[in-house]
């Protein structure tokens, strides 16, 4: 796991510029640094040594030094590819997985990408024709950002490297703020910084003669096998997942595992007998503290368990630091908890495995039950009646049980689901934003994804949306940034293309029922875990923000930011204070909306006041 950055073209003090850009991502690779420069490009690299400890430093070159590589990630099938390339006459001088990319690119060009198994973002400079090739892995595990700044093309694992480029003029992207207010994350490919973009998962980019060409080489497509039965599915999952965990454990250093109370991380950890597991929690009762559950699982599988209880003061003090490492605001408070568990793990190991991706691939979110929950309602009441009922109950100012069901049941999936988070509606954003012209309807943005998924059933459409948006913009972004902030490599064996082949073939009845989620995955996990763990309800990574915001101390902390000059640049202050006061007085639960605004304001202070 490493960090890369670079730029093409001439600029004053080039050596100092690339050194500064590289130093800013030292946390991604504190073990060593590497540089390459010629008249047309400058490339920087930071290394966290995992494989090929003695001779895996970068940049790496091919036999005649015409290709130069910097690489972030791991290639798990590199030994097989290396043997194939040696048979083709290629000569290797390192033991590192990264060298396979160079010779593979020589041999197969862009077709190399679909041969890879792993997580990656990398840059290859061709000294013969002065072309630059960038690529990002299938599901977006490893990040890569880029910008055209004057005559220069600039790229980096993290945005902070690009911000350090001397001629970049920093400006906030209001379109990103608009989407963030609905989705709770910056929706790729845009970022919060004007002119800086995210290379999307499954895409590669060519920069040749000042021209940029971006193409998609991989699209996650679902192809359900309706003849598949539960036991057959569980057997296939068990076989492919065990193999995936084994290849994800390939390392020349110690490997540990994150562990919560849920099925995903527990299933991963069940292959870690005698090794290290890591858990954090909060002192707010069982709902916010999974340490006891995790400790029981660790004992059951014979792992060495490490845990930490995060205090309220520690959490709130860490928010600015987390915002810095995130590069962009993310209104998911679990990223702060992830920062702490990564810090805990980094004290014992260099690599951890984690359970990200299981929910998106195997149908794990509770909201995926919603389509079946509306089936009977839709049969009884035709659409005009449902719309009339929704209009009537929406006029009732107070909340009551069933109100949200009636309102959501009047809408088609494409209107009610934009992903696992839906913070502010179009109407709410028009009232909230100082300049309402920036407000857009999130459903319109999602329409292209629904068009791509038009032949899927509703549950699979939801999965497709989450794989392409939520998983990339929230789940994997925080996993990368929070682990790398602590110089820790995080690997995700669920997010393996061989695992996806099995997951994508599952019929919906083996993913979600009225009673449960991840049906087939739970069946497979039950062969390795206690039934109570394998069947435990999805909780996510619970953080007591709702509780904190009803205490005077944290109410006042947030209120200070809501009344600040920065807040007045973007928002109508009375709306903010009303949200906060309603929550504080227990009239409604506005905690997620409040946290969305607060996180943005803390991030803005860090990146635009300094």
DSSP codes joined into one string, 160-214: HHHHTSTT----B-HHHHHHHHHHSSPPTTB-SBTTEEEPPTTEEEEEETTEEEE
Q: Is the distance from CB of 45 to CB of 62 less than 8 angstroms?
A: no
CB-count exposure of residue 579 (10 Å: 0-12, 13-18, 19+): buried
Confidence of residue 373 (pLDDT cuts 50, 70, 90): confident
Beta strand 60-61 with 41-47: parallel, antiparallel or unpaired?
A: unpaired
The candidate with the shortest Cα–Cα distance to 409, out of 438, 434, 388, is 388
Q: Are residues 111 and 237 in the same domain?
A: no
DSSP 8-state code for residue 468? I
pLDDT at 610: 66
Mind listing the pLDDT tens digit for each residue in 110-157?
999 999 999 999 999 999 999 999 999 999 999 999 999 999 999 999
Helices and strands (H, E) in the chain, number of each type = 28, 17
User: Domain total for the chain?
Assistant: 2
Tokens of 17: 């510029």
The candidate with the shortest Cα–Cα distance to 165, out of 16, 30, 34, is 16
* Annotated catalytic residue within 2, 5, 198, 446: 5
Q: Are residues 43 and 174 in the same domain?
A: yes
More confident residue, 167 or 51: 167
**Could you say which of 534, 562, 588 is where a domain stops?**
534
Q: Are residues 481 and 503 in the same domain?
A: yes
pLDDT of 538 over the 70 cut: no
Beta strand 304-310 with 203-208: parallel, antiparallel or unpaired?
A: unpaired
pLDDT of 372 over the 70 cut: yes
Is residue 602, in this structure, part of any structural domain at all? Answer: no
> d(Cα 244, Cα 504) in Å, to the nearest integer?
16
Q: Are residues 61 and 130 in the same domain?
A: yes
pLDDT of 55 over the 80 cut: no
pLDDT at 409: 79
The mean pLDDT of 553-566, rounded to a whole number, is: 98
The candidate with the shortest Cα–Cα distance to 344, out of 254, 252, 258, 248, is 258
Question: Concatenated DSSP letters for 476-529?
Answer: HHHHHHHHHTTT-EEE-TTS-HHHHHHHTT--GGGTB-SS-BSHHHHHHHTTTS
Q: How far is CA 368 from the centre of its chain?
A: 19
Q: Are residues 206 and 278 in the same domain?
A: no
- Angle (nearest 5°) at CA 200 between 196 and 201: 150
Confidence of residue 297 (pLDDT cuts 50, 70, 90): confident
> d(Cα 510, Cα 541) in Å, to the nearest integer?
24
pLDDT of 391 over the 90 cut: no
Strands across the sheet with 489-491, in order? 304-310, 276-282, 255-258, 351-353, 489-491
Beta strand 255-258 with 276-282: parallel, antiparallel or unpaired?
A: parallel
pLDDT of 552 over the 80 cut: yes
Tell me the C-alpha to C-alpha distance, in Å, between residue 527 and each of 86, 249, 413, 513. Answer: 41, 21, 35, 21
Confidence of residue 53 (pLDDT cuts 50, 70, 90): low
> d(Cα 203, Cα 311) in Å, to the nearest integer?
41
Query: Which one of 175-189, 237-251, 262-276 scores highest in mean pLDDT?
Result: 175-189
Tell me the C-alpha to C-alpha distance, in Å, between residue 225 and each of 233, 362, 494, 505. Answer: 10, 14, 20, 5
pLDDT of 194 over the 80 cut: yes
Is residue 70, in this structure, part of any structural domain at all? Answer: yes
pLDDT at 285: 64
Q: Is the distance from CB of 595 to CB of 545 less than 8 angstroms?
A: yes
Question: Where residue 210 sits, what CATH number does that domain have?
Answer: 3.60.20.10
> d(Cα 339, Cα 310) in Å, to the nearest integer?
11
pLDDT of 54 over the 90 cut: no
Q: Are residues 477 and 505 in the same domain?
A: yes
pLDDT at 56: 65
> Helix/strand/coil (H, E, C) string of 297-310?
HHHHHCCEEEEEEE
Output the CA torsion sign for 234, 519, 351, 189: positive
Q: Are residues 252 and 190 in the same domain?
A: no
Q: Are residues 181 and 37 in the same domain?
A: yes
Average predicted confidence (pLDDT) for the chain = 93
Q: Is the distance from CB of 532 to CB of 294 less than 8 angstroms?
A: no
DSSP 8-state code for residue 30? B
Is residue 406, in this structure, part of any structural domain at all? Answer: no
Is residue 410, in this structure, part of any structural domain at all? Answer: no
5 is catalytic: yes
pLDDT of 221 over the 80 cut: yes
pLDDT of 334 over the 70 cut: yes
Helix (H, G, I), strand (E, B) or coil at 150: coil
More confident residue, 530 or 67: 67
Is residue 287, in this structure, part of any structural domain at all? Answer: yes
pLDDT at 361: 98
More confident residue, 405 or 201: 201
pLDDT at 307: 93
**Could you say which of 216, 250, 270 is where a domain stops?**
216
pLDDT of 539 over the 70 cut: no
The mean pLDDT of 272-294, rounded to a whole number, is: 81
> d(Cα 281, Cα 291) in Å, to the nearest integer?
6
pLDDT of 68 over the 70 cut: yes
Is residue 477, in this structure, part of any structural domain at all? Answer: yes
CB neighbour list of residue 468: distance below 8 Å, 6 or more residues apart: 201, 220, 449
Query: Which one of 241-255, 273-287, 459-473 scores highest in mean pLDDT?
Result: 459-473
pLDDT of 400 over the 80 cut: no
Helix (H, G, I), strand (E, B) or coil at 118: strand
**What per-residue string of b and e applies to 411-443 under the rule 16 or more CB within 10 Å gives b?**
bebbebbbbbbbbbebebbeebbeeeebbbebb
Determine the structural domain holding residue 7 and report its residue range. 2-216
- Other CB atoms within a 10 A radius of the CB of residue 119 amount to 27
Helix (H, G, I), strand (E, B) or coil at 322: helix
Helix (H, G, I), strand (E, B) or coil at 538: coil
pLDDT at 254: 87
**Could you say which of 534, 560, 590 is where a domain stops?**
534
> d(Cα 41, Cα 210) in Å, to the nearest integer?
12
Is residue 403, in this structure, part of any structural domain at all? Answer: no
Q: Are residues 207 and 236 in the same domain?
A: no
Beta strand 351-353 with 255-258: parallel, antiparallel or unpaired?
A: parallel
Confidence of residue 1 (pLDDT cuts 50, 70, 90): low
Tokens of 205: 């980019």
pLDDT of 542 over the 70 cut: yes
The mean pLDDT of 502-506, rounded to a whole number, is: 98
Is residue 515, in this structure, part of any structural domain at all? Answer: yes
Least confident of 278-282, 359-363, 448-452: 278-282
Against a cut of 0.85, is the pTM above it?
yes
DSSP 8-state code for residue 572? -
The mean pLDDT of 214-241, rounded to a whole number, is: 97
Confidence of residue 268 (pLDDT cuts 50, 70, 90): very high
pLDDT of 438 over the 90 cut: yes
More confident residue, 296 or 563: 563
Beta strand 304-310 with 276-282: parallel, antiparallel or unpaired?
A: parallel
CB neighbour list of residue 240: distance below 8 Å, 6 or more residues apart: 496, 498, 499, 501, 502
Taking the CA of residue 565 as centre, how many other CA atoms within 13 Å lie in the half-sphere pointing to its CB? Answer: 3
Q: Are residues 103 and 185 in the same domain?
A: yes
Q: Are residues 236 and 191 in the same domain?
A: no
Q: Are residues 170 and 40 in the same domain?
A: yes
> d(Cα 92, Cα 302) in Å, to the nearest integer?
40
The mean pLDDT of 466-489, rounded to a whole number, is: 97
Question: Where residue 271 sits, what CATH number does that domain have?
Answer: 3.40.50.620
């Amino acid at each position: 796991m490493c960090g890369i950055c670079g730029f093409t073209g001439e600029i004053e003090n080039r050596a100092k510029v690339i050194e500064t850009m590289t130093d800013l991502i030292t946390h991604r690779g504190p073990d060593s640094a590497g540089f390459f420069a010629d008249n047309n490009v400058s490339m920087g690299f930071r290394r966290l040594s995992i494989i090929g400890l003695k001779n895996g430093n970068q940049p790496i070159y091919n036999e005649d030094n015409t290709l130069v590589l910097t690489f972030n990630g791991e290639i798990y099938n590199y030994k097989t590819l290396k043997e194939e390339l040696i048979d083709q006459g290629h000569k290797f001088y390192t033991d590192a997985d990264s060298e396979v990319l160079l010779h593979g690119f020589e041999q197969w060009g862009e077709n190399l990408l679909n041969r890879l198994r792993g997580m990656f973002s990398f840059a290859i400079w061709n000294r013969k024709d002065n072309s630059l090739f960038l690529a990002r892995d299938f599901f977006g595990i490893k990040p890569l950002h880029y910008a055209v700044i004057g005559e220069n093309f600039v790229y980096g694992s993290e945005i902070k490297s690009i911000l350090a480029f001397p001629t970049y003029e920093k400006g906030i992207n209001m379109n990103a703020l608009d989407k963030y207010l609905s989705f709770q994350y910056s929706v790729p490919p845009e970022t919060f910084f004007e002119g800086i973009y995210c290379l999307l998962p499954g895409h590669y980019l060519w920069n040749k003669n000042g021209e940029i060409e971006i193409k998609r080489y991989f699209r996650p497509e679902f192809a359900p096998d309706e003849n598949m039965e539960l036991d057959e599915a569980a057997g296939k999952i068990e076989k492919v997942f065990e193999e995936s965990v084994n290849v994800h454990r390939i390392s020349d250093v110690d490997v540990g595992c994150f562990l919560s109370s849920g099925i995903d991380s527990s299933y991963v950890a069940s292959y870690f007998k005698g090794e290290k597991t890591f858990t954090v929690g909060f002192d707010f009762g069982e709902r916010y503290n999974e340490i006891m559950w995790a400790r029981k699982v660790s004992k059951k599988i014979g792992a060495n368990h490490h845990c930490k209880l995060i205090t309220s003061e520690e959490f709130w003090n860490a928010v600015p630091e987390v915002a810095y490492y995130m590069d962009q605001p993310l209104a998911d408070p679990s990223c702060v908890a992830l920062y702490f568990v990564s810090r805990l793990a980094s004290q014992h190991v260099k690599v951890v495995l984690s359970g990200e991706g299981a929910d998106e691939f195997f149908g794990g979110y509770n909201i995926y039950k919603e389509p079946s929950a509306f089936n009977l309602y839709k049969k009884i009441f035709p659409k005009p009646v449902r719309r009339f009922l929704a209009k009537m109950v929406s006029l009732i100012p107070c909340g009551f049980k069933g109100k949200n069901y009636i309102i959501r049941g009047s809408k088609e999936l494409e209107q009610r689901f934009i992903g696992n988070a839906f913070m502010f509606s179009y109407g709410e954003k028009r009232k909230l934003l100082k300049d309402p012209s920036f407000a857009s309807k999130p459903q319109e943005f999602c329409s292209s994804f629904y068009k791509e998924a038009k032949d899927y059933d509703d549950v699979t459409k939801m999965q497709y949306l989450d794989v392409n948006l939520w998983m990339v913009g929230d789940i994997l972004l925080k996993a990368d940034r929070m682990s790398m902030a602590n110089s820790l490599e995080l690997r995700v064996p669920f997010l393996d293309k061989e695992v996806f082949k099995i997951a994508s073939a599952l019929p919906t009845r083996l993913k979600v029922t009225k009673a449960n989620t991840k049906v087939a995955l739970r069946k497979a996990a039950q062969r390795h875990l206690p039934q109570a763990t394998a069947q435990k309800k999805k909780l996510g990574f619970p953080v007591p923000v709702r509780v904190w915001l009803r205490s005077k101390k944290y109410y006042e902390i947030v209120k200070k930011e809501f009344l600040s000059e920065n807040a007045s640049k973007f928002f109508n202050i009375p709306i903010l204070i009303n949200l906060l006061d309603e929550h504080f007085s227990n009239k409604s639960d506005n905690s997620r909306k409040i946290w969305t605004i607060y996180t943005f304001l803390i991030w803005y202070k860090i990146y635009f006041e300094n």
